Structure 1
Amino acid sequence: MRDDGAFGDNAIMKKWLFRIIWIPVLIVAVLFLVANRTLVPISLDPIRPENPALSTPALPLWFWLMGMLFIGVALGAAGQWLSTREARAQARDNRRELKALRKELAALTAKREREAPHGKETQEDPPKLEAMSV
C-alpha cells in the first residue's frame, strides 16, 4: 500500500478541485461556442454602425471569440516574458561569473598540486564548489 502522507492527499485534492471547477467551465464554453455559429461582421466604425467604413468579413462569432482569447493569451505571455528580462540578464551574468570562478579554481588547484611536494598530502583540501541552480 502506498503512503504519500500529507503531500499525496494535497495533490489528490488539487486534482479533484481542478476537475470540479474546470470541466463544467469547459463544457459551458464549448456549448456557448457551438450555439453561436451565426456569421457576424465586426464593425470598427462607431459613427456609422449601419454602414461602417471599416469592418471585417462576416465570420462565425466563435471564431472572433477564440481569436480574441488567443490574442489575449499571446499578449499576456509576451508581457510576462518582457517583465522577466532583468532576472534573465542577472541569471546570465551569474552563470558567466560562476564559469569564470570555476575555471580560476581549477587553475589554482592545478598550480597547488604542481607546487606540492610529491608523496606528501597537502594540509588542507581545496574548497569545492557546489552546483547552484540559477
Structure 2
Amino acid sequence: MKKWFYRLIWIPVLVVAVLFLVANRMPVAISLDPFNADNPAMSTAALPLWFWLMAMLFTGVGLGALGMWLSGGERRSQARDNRRELKAAKKELAAMTARAEAAEKSAAAPAGEPENPHEPPKLEATNL
C-alpha cells in the first residue's frame, strides 16, 4: 500500500518536472544585482534554465548531505570510542577466561597424580 501511494505521488511530480525542464530550454542569465536590471554588476553566463534548476537541486542536496554528515560527527566519534572499549573488554574477558580455565584445571588435578591416568608418572630429579 505504501509503495503504491509513493508511486501515485512521485511519478506525476517527476513527469511534470521533466516536462518543465524540456519546455524551458531558452538560455537564461542569472542576475545577482537587484538594483540595476539593465546592466547588472554581477550576472552569470546565459545557460538553459534546466541547467540552473538542476545545479540548484544538486547544490541543495550536497549541502544537506554535508550538514547531516557534520551534525553526526559526535555520534560517530562516540561509536568509535565504544567500539575500541568493547574490543578491549573482549580481550580482557578472553584473558580472564583462559586464566580461570587454567586455574580450574590445576585445581582439579591433584599435584601427585598425572593429568592423564593412562600416562606413567613423570620422574623428577631431586638433590640428595
Cα offsets for 1:76-96 (capped at 9, x unmatched): 111111111111111111101
Which of 15, 38, 47 is matched with 2:35 structurally? 47
1:35 aligned residue: 23
Q: Deviations over 1:59-110 (max 9, x none)?
A: 0001000100000000111111111111111111110110000000011011
Paired position in structure 1 for 2:80: 92
Instruction: Mark the structure with the bigger radius of gyration.
Output: 2
Moved beyond 2 Å, runs of 4+? 117-120
Aligned partner (choices 56, 80, 87) of residue 68 of structure 1: 56
Q: 2:96, 2:89 → 1: CA distance?
A: 10
Please report how far the alpha carbon of residue 47 of structure 1 lies from its aligned counterpart in structure 2 after TM superposition: 1.7
Letter in 1 for 2:66: A
AA aligned opposite 2:4: W
The alpha carbon displacement at 1:20 in A equals 0.4
Query: What is the CA–CA distance in structure 2 between the aligned matches of 1:16 and 1:93, rounded to whole Å?
Result: 42
TM-score normalised over the length of structure 2: 0.80
Q: CA deviation at 1:117?
A: 2.6
Unaligned runs of 5+ in 1: 1-12, 121-134
Q: Percent of aligned pairs with the same residue?
A: 69
CA distance in 2, matches of 1:18, 1:54: 41
Distance in 2 (CA, whole Å) between partners of 1:19 and 1:72 is: 23
Equivalent in 2, 9, 14 of residue 2 of structure 2:
14
Q: How many residue pairs are counted as aligned between the two chains? A: 108
Q: Residue 115 of structure 1: which of 103, 109, 112 is its match?
A: 103
In the alignment, structure 1 residue 77 sits paired with structure 2 residue 82: no
In structure 2, stretches of 5+ residues that fail to align are 109-128
Q: CA deviation at 1:119?
A: 9.2
RMSD: 1.3
TM-score when normalising by structure 1? 0.76
